[in-house]
Amino acid sequence: MQVPAGEFLKRINYPSDLKEFKEDELEQVCNELRQYIIDVVSVNGGHFAASLGTVELTVALQYVLNTPYDQLVWDVGHQAYGHKILTGRRENFHTNRIYKGISGFPKRSESVFDTFGVGHSSTSISAALGMAVASQYKGETDRQHVAVIGDGAMTAGLAFEALNHAGIENSNILVILNDNNMSIDPNVGALKEYLTDITTSKPYNRFRDDIATVLTKISSMGPDAFKIAKKIEKSIKGTLLKRSNFFEALKFRYFGPVDGHDVKHLVKLLQDLRNIPGPKLLHCVTVKGKGYALAEKDQTKWHAPGLFDKITGEIKKTKYDKPQPPKYQDVFGHTIIELAEANPKIMGITPAMPSGCSLNLMMKAMPNRAFDVGIAEQHAVTFSAGLATQGLVPFCNIYSSFMQRAYDQVIHDVALQKLNVVFCLDRAGFAGADGGTHHGAYDIAYMRCIPNMTVSAPMNEEELRNLMYTAQLDDMGPFVIRYPRGNGVMVDWQRPLKAIPIGKGRMICEGEEVAIISFGAIGNEAVKATTMLNAEGYYPAHYDLRFVKPLDEALLHEVFKKFNHIVTVEDGCIEGGMGTAILEFMADNNYKAQVTRLGIPDVVVEHGEQPELWAECGYDAAGIAGQVKKYAIKRDNTHTIAS
């Protein structure tokens, strides 16, 4: 649905158009840009509060910089809706995050203004530093390189690694810290407290107001004068804050904190900072959800609220006449509390996603046993390993695509030491509108190759509960439970907990000619396929593998002895996935069969609703049925008919 833009905004197709406005007109541009984001997201959905908080910063940057020649990197990417609208995508913005529409994050293949793909977080400083060093090497001394890092992204280790390196490079890089004290949930950790101390220090704030202008003027007097001024500045900053400035200690020139919603002041600051050489950090204080009162008040709820009435603030949800199955994440959230009440060894850990994975339920019920460690997956895994060495059973809940950042820790710190850490991989498989950066495509392949690891996937909510129960039993070692985003299939899901034998699958239905082997919740599409096929006279068998490591070899021997045609179905990458494990078993045991593997192909699949993407890749119910029909024999009540 197209939404009309305001009088100023409709004249802006690219940043060059924005530069035609006077500085006094920029506030109106900001007002119209903010309203446009509200109008479009309210009727089309998407991330919301983060981009409202960066409107003034976005306008100021595009007004001062010469993009795309000047390099601008956004981090995290869902702050960049205003950037997209001002860089040639206003007319298409209504397709944001919709199947075949534009991406919800900056994406190099989408626009020359998107200098770096930023679907995850904390990569901007490293990327911008690489760009700056490259420009320096090529002699492009006039080129600016800006990394906007915020919405919790500064809490990740990669950001600190990049700061540590950037401080010793004499490159032209500006890091803008968008300090809104939030990621999706409130920020945590010592850095948050440090930034709060800076923000609330009245003597320091009085001092810093004119420092950028002073340094700009002194820099024109020569390097010696500039060095002397810098020493004086550093001494005064340290005295006023009663501690060393963290960023200055890393050899960044620190400016701030400043009001991130004063667009005219931001323009002046950015113009001045262009003339100051070397690595610089501008600390902007912003409000997530700025300009929409409800989002300012409840920033977590309005991070990505879905469709809503922009006037009343009512979030639109589908109403059902009958009870509906819960989300898998909520099954996890309630079940871990149930398990923890019975087992005092259980702990909960998440890297900045307590509401996204529903660990916030345990954090409220058992605050001393559940931890949000910030956007720090590597730390989350090794912290969990440390807990496990002391006999505790940590449930480390990390989105599948985010677990990729902690792969070494999974191997070195958990698997090699055979520690009982339970990895609950939420958003496994297609993640929907977040697209290729968030699809949990690879965890089956990268987990099943690790020694000592158990890798499982529930087909429904009851199985998820039982796998969680099984994983916390004695001597289980490293244990993966992967499950998808969204709702399950059972209304009556809170059934008594029971252990599942490790490495044991199950037969869903008997059949003839063709066997379907599924892994995880995508097996429910196979159930739909068998129902459709039965109605047409085809009768395949269906097996739910449940464990891809260890494999149920007894079940597979039974399958290969009975069937010459096998269709494997998984919501993960085909290369190295469950279907590959079946082929390996077949080869190792000298079986011969026609095996068709269905799953995510060896391409980057873009965003869309999960059913749309399953269909695109051929493993929704219709796709599965189509594969079975290639090998099955159609039957009627009296005789066999060749298919």
Active site residues: 288, 377, 405
Closest by CA position to 531, among listed 542, 515, 543, 517: 542
Asked whether the beta carbons of 415 and 478 are under 8 A apart, the reply is yes
CA distances (Å), origin 591, targets 505, 563, 594: 20, 10, 10
Contact yes or no for 156/144 (Cβ under 8 A): no
Sign, CA dihedral 407-411-414-420, equals: positive
509 burial (CB, 10 Å; 0-12 / 13-18 / 19+) is middle
Residue with tokens 């059949």: 511
Q: How far apart are the C-alpha atoms of 617 and 614, rounded to whole Å? A: 5
Question: Residue 59 in 3-state DSSP?
Answer: helix
Tell me how far apart the alpha carbons of residues 77 and 118 are, in angstroms, rounded to a whole number: 5
Structure tokens at 511: 């059949």
**Is 180 marked as binding a ligand?**
yes
* Neighbouring residues of 243: CB distance < 8 A, sequence distance ≥ 6: 197
Known binder of ligand: residue 265?
no
Residue with tokens 């005064």: 236
119 in a known ligand binding site: yes
Q: Is 121 within any annotated ligand binding site?
A: yes
Whether residue 436 is annotated as binding a ligand: the answer is no
Q: Which helix (H) or strand (E) holds 36?
A: helix 26-44
377 labeled binding residue: yes
Residue 78, marked binder: yes
Residue type, 345: K
Whose structure tokens read 């050489």? 277
* 52 contacts 292 by C-beta, under 8 angstroms: yes
172 is in an annotated binding site: no
Tell me if 103 is assigned to a ligand binding site: no
Closest CA to 400 of 363, 359, 446: 446
Q: Is 17 labeled as ligand-binding?
A: no
For the annotated binding site for Mg(2+), the residues are 151, 180
For the annotated binding site, the residues are 78, 119-121, 151-153, 180, 292, 377
For the annotated binding site for thiamine diphosphate, the residues are 78, 119-121, 152-153, 180, 292, 377
